[in-house]
Structure 1
Amino acid sequence: MSLIRSAIWRRNIPLYLMFAPIIVFFITFKYVPMFGSIMAFKHYNFGDGILHSPWVGLENFRVLFSTPATIQIIRNTLLLSLLAIFIGFPFPILLAIMLNEVRAMWFKKIVQTLIFLPHFFSWIIVAGIIVTVFSQQAGTINVLWKYLFGESYAFMYHEGSWLSIFVGSGIWKEAGFSAIVYLAALSSIDATLYEAASLDGANKWKQIWHVTLPGISSTVVLMFILAMGRVMEVGFDQVFMLQNSTVSNISEVISTYIYKIGLMGSQFSLSAAIGLFESFVSLILVVITNRIARKFGNGLW
C-alpha cells in the first residue's frame, strides 16, 4: 500500500507544483491577514502596534451597534446585496441558455463578445458611462425623457431610480461573464437527452425546462451558495463611484463606511470590528444556504 501511495505521489508531483502558487496566494493574502482581526478587540494605535495595543474586549462592537448610523448601514448593505442577488442572479442563467440555443456561430460569437466586454471595464469607466447617460443636463436618457414628458428627471438623485441604476449596472457589467460558468455546465449535458425529449414530442421550451435546467441545477445551487456568502460584501467600487450625498440614506454600505472611518478617520479598531461582523454574518448565511441545498441533494459540502 505504501508503494502504491508513493507512486501516486510521484505521478502527481506536476499537479502539486501547479497548485503550489494558489496555496501560497491564499496563505499570504487570505489567511495571514486574519491575524489583523484581533484589532476589533483592541484600542489600536500605531505606536503600540497590533500586539501591544490595549485590549478592550467587545467595547468596539458596543460602540458600533449603539450608533444608529451603523444599523442603517447594515440595512443598506443587505438591501443592495439582496436586490443584486435576487434580481441579477437569473440573468447569467438566461443568457447562457439563450446563447446555447443559438446555432449561427458568427452571431453567437458577436453576442458573446458584446456581453462579455463590460466585465473588463473598471467601475470608474462604467460609472462614467452611467453618469453621462443619466445626466440631468445632457444625458441621453434625459433627452428622451424631456422629449416625452417635457422636463428632465434627476435619475441619480432619487432613491428609487438610483437603486434601479445600481442593480442594472451590476447586471450589465457582470452577467455576461458569469454566464461562462453556466455555458460550461450546459456543454456537459448529454445531447441524447434532447433527442429523446424531441422524439417524445417536447418542444423547445419543454426541453429547456425538463432537460436544460435540471442539467445545470447543481451549478446554479453552487453559484447561489457562493453569492449568499457575498451578501455583506457589496462591491466598494460600484457603490463609491455611483453614490452621492443626496442618496446617502440608501447608498452608504459597510464597505464605504469602513473606508471612511478606517482609512479617512483612522478608527482602525472600529473598522476591524464591523469587518469581522461582516465576515461572521457571511459565514452564517453560507452555512444556512448550504444546509437548505443539502436537503435537495445539492450541497457544497
Structure 2
Amino acid sequence: MDWDKLRIFHAVAAAGSLTHAGDTLHLSQSAVSRQIRALEESLNTTLFHRHARGLILTEQGELLFDATNAMRRRIDTAAARIRDSEEEVFGELRVTTATGFGTLWLTPRLPTLYAKYPDLKIDLMLEERVLDLPMREADVAIRMKEPSQADLVRRRLMTIRMRLYASPEYLAQRGTPKRMSDLADHRLICQNTASHQVAAGATLVQELLTYDVPSMLTVNNYFGALQAVIAGLGIGVLPDYVIQDFPNIVRVMPDIESAEVPVFLAYPEELRQSKRIAAFRDFVTEEIIAHRKRLQEEKVGA
C-alpha cells in the first residue's frame, strides 16, 4: 500500500475536509482529491461520504483511520526515542494530570524544570479523564491512584489527604468550628460527591454532609474550590498540598481528614529509556523530597 496516500488519507480524515488537509500538507485540493480517489480505487471501497459541509468516514474509512492512528502513534514513539540523545533533553513531552494538582502543585514548579532544560516543550493536559498511556494519548501521567493499565512503568510519589481549610478573614467573621456539629453555622466548599474525584475525598464530603450543612458551594475541581476559600466564601475540603504555596490559609478541625490518597507517576514501558521522561521524573521526585525536607525543618523549628 502506498504510504504517501495513507499519509494524505490520515490528514483528510483528521481534518474532515480536503481543503484543510491540503493546507496542512501544502498540497492543492485537487491533488489531495486525486490521491484519495486513487486510494479508494486500490482498496475497491469508499472511504468517505461526501457532504456539503465536509467529509465523513464510512465504516471502511473508520477501520483504515484506526490503523493509520496506530501507525502514527508508533512512529511518534520511535521518533521520540530517536530524538532522545544520551546527554541532551529536548523535544515535546505530553504530561497529563488532574486539574487541581496540575494548577496548584505542578505548574508553579515548572520554572525549575525549564531552567535546567530550556529546550523542553511540555504539553500539559489537565483533566479528570484518565488518558490512555499505552495508546500514547500522553507520555507521562501523575494520578491520584495506581494506574490499572498494563505495560506501564509506575512509581509511587507520595500520599496526600483531604482536609478542611478556610481564610483568616472568613474565620474572623464567622468563627472557627471546633467540632463537626459546628458546620451547621458555616458554608462548605467542596466537590459534588457525584463528580469525578478521589474516593477518599468523596467519602469525607459525604460524612460532613450528615451534619446538616446549611449552605454549600460545589466546584468540579480543587483549583476552583481553593479560589472560593481564598475569597472567604466558606470552609473548603482541599488536598493538603495546597497549603505549600498558600501559607495564609488556615486548617480547621485538624483531627478531621480523609484516608491517605496515593499519588503515582506512570509512563509507557516503551518510553523507559526516554531522557525526557527521566528528566521529568527526577524533577518531580526532587521537588517532593525538597518539600519533605522543609516540613521536617518546620517541625524541628516548632
Scaled by the length of structure 1, the TM-score of the pair is 0.20
Task: Please state which structure has a larger fraction of its residues in strand.
Answer: 2
Task: Please state which structure has a larger fraction of its residues in helix.
Answer: 1
Structure having greater relative contact order (Cα 8 Å, sep ≥ 6) = 1
